[in-house]
Structure 1
Amino acid sequence: MSTYLFLYYCIFLIALFIAPSYVTYKRTGINPFKFSKEETAINYVGKAYKIISAFAFATILLNAFLTSTMQYLVPIEYLQSDILVWVGLGLIHLAFLIIFIAQRNMANEWRIGIDNENKVNLITKGMFGISRNPIFLGVIIVFIGLFLIIPNAVTVVILVSGVIVIQVQVRLEEEFLLNQLGNEYKEYMSKVKRWIF
């Protein structure tokens, strides 16, 4: 199971972030990674998310190949159960599906961060008709699933900090879209929830 989780996470990163970014660049000539080294709020969020992702990857790696080290990550023993592991696995696979469909809905509009250089086209079809942030929703579901599969102090921190960072990024992106699209985005906000409720 631990090796499967590692393989899943590698596929998750490649299929849902690296490959779509490469495809978008090849189709449009636009680099979809929009974080930079400037001291701005959105770039700070980008750095924080990279650190969280690195901790998640390291935890999954240790769990798969250096199992004996997991005792030092302060396991939460009363949450260690086969049922919660299966629930967690169900969640991370659901998240994969949500993110995959949402990225197809975005097509060439796929970005990581805020794009100040190119025209913004609002996507309201598919998953974006259910949630304004289906990709972020999927990532949060992955963090929840990871915590249920490997309940320990580190995955708690990953979950809590991940949710906080995503909440901040969503609001920064909303502010940007309101400035760029005005009434078009206000109308969209009135029809579709930030998450799903």
Structure 2
Amino acid sequence: MSWSLVPLLHAIVFGGVAGAARLVLVRRRLGTSPLALGAGDSARGFTARCFYAWLPLADFCYLLVEAIAGLPGPVLWQGDAVRVAGTVLLAAGLAWVAYAQAAMGSDWRMGVDDGSQGRLCTHGPFARSRHPVYLGIRITMLGQLLVVGTWPALCLWAIEELLVQVQARFEEEAMAARFGGAYQAYRASVRRWL
């Protein structure tokens, strides 16, 4: 199998498991959509739409073109060892995201939901990271970069790193407003990433 197929297949599985299946599962439990991408012109809504919709779409399209048409762009490195390490990170990132989403249960949302009455999740992976789902996404994108190893993949990784940092901060602001002192105590004792 070609190395270019690995990230494409991973993106399909990731989108199915961590995206579509999770959305359907939580929607059934809640009776309402867990999507909170914002429809207005706010920076928070724009960032959420870029992070959860536009970037994954651009990434998938790039991976599809690279796998089918073989137009990877200039390669940054050679060697199967780096690609194997990237594949391991892809698998680990997906497993970590699924674990973190499962720990959230029905409190999982895609974006910031100001109307949610959910609880503050501090158990499982949230005892070690305030944003374990995003940590898993970061691991996944690094793995993809290592497998693909092109300038376009590097650009997608850099955009993801910027968006995830901003999205995490928007969510922290919302959590502080919703949970007050309980969130401040949690924030003081648990690091953002690890």
The TM-score with structure 1 as length reference comes to: 0.92
CA–CA separation in structure 2 for the residues paired with 1:119 and 1:169: 20
Q: Which residue of 1 aligns with 2:69?
A: 66
Q: Which amino acid aligns with 1:55?
A: A
CA–CA separation in structure 2 for the residues paired with 1:81 and 1:53: 26
Structure 1 residue matching 2:45: 3-state secondary structure: helix
Structure 1 residue matching 2:117: 3-state secondary structure: coil
Paired residue for 1:98, among 83, 92, 96? 96
CA–CA separation in structure 2 for the residues paired with 1:47 and 1:115: 13
Q: Which residue of 1 aligns with 2:192?
A: 194
Q: Which amino acid aligns with 2:17?
A: A
How far residue 142 of structure 1 moved from its aligned partner, in angstroms, is 1.0
> Cα RMSD between the aligned structures?
1.2
Does the Cα contact within 8 Å between 1:89 and 1:145 map onto a contact in 2?
Answer: yes
Does the Cα contact within 8 Å between 1:95 and 1:141 map onto a contact in 2?
Answer: yes
Q: Percent identity?
A: 25
Where structure 2 has 5 or more consecutive residues not aligned to the other structure, the ranges are none
CA–CA separation in structure 1 for the residues paired with 2:15 and 2:60: 10
Q: Which runs of 4+ in 1 moved over 6 A?
A: none
Q: Which amino acid aligns with 2:74?
A: V
Structure 2 residue matching 1:108: 3-state secondary structure: helix
CA displacement, residues 38-82 of structure 1 (integer Å, 9 cap, x when unaligned):
011111102322222122111221222111x22xx3322xx1210
Q: Which residue of 2 aligns with 1:160?
A: 158
Q: Which residue of 2 aligns with 1:146?
A: 144
Mark the CA change 1:139 to 1:4 in structure 2 (over 3 Å): closer, same or farther: same
How far residue 110 of structure 1 moved from its aligned partner, in angstroms, is 0.8
Q: Which residue of 1 aligns with 2:108?
A: 110
CA–CA separation in structure 2 for the residues paired with 1:88 and 1:138: 13
Q: Which residue of 2 aligns with 1:80?
A: 78
Does the Cα contact within 8 Å between 2:4 and 2:148 map onto a contact in 1?
Answer: no
Where structure 1 has 5 or more consecutive residues not aligned to the other structure, the ranges are none
Does the Cα contact within 8 Å between 1:105 and 1:127 map onto a contact in 2?
Answer: yes
Does the Cα contact within 8 Å between 2:104 and 2:121 map onto a contact in 1?
Answer: yes
Q: Which residue of 2 aligns with 1:179?
A: 177
CA–CA separation in structure 2 for the residues paired with 1:154 and 1:3: 16
CA displacement, residues 161-196 of structure 1 (integer Å, 9 cap, x when unaligned):
101111001001101111110000011111111000
The TM-score with structure 2 as length reference comes to: 0.94
Question: Are 1:21 and 2:23 matched, yes or no?
Answer: yes
Does the Cα contact within 8 Å between 2:6 and 2:87 map onto a contact in 1?
Answer: no
Q: How many residues align?
A: 191
Q: Which amino acid aligns with 1:63?
A: E
How far residue 120 of structure 1 moved from its aligned partner, in angstroms, is 3.2
Q: Which residue of 2 aligns with 1:12?
A: 14
CA–CA separation in structure 2 for the residues paired with 1:16 and 1:36: 20
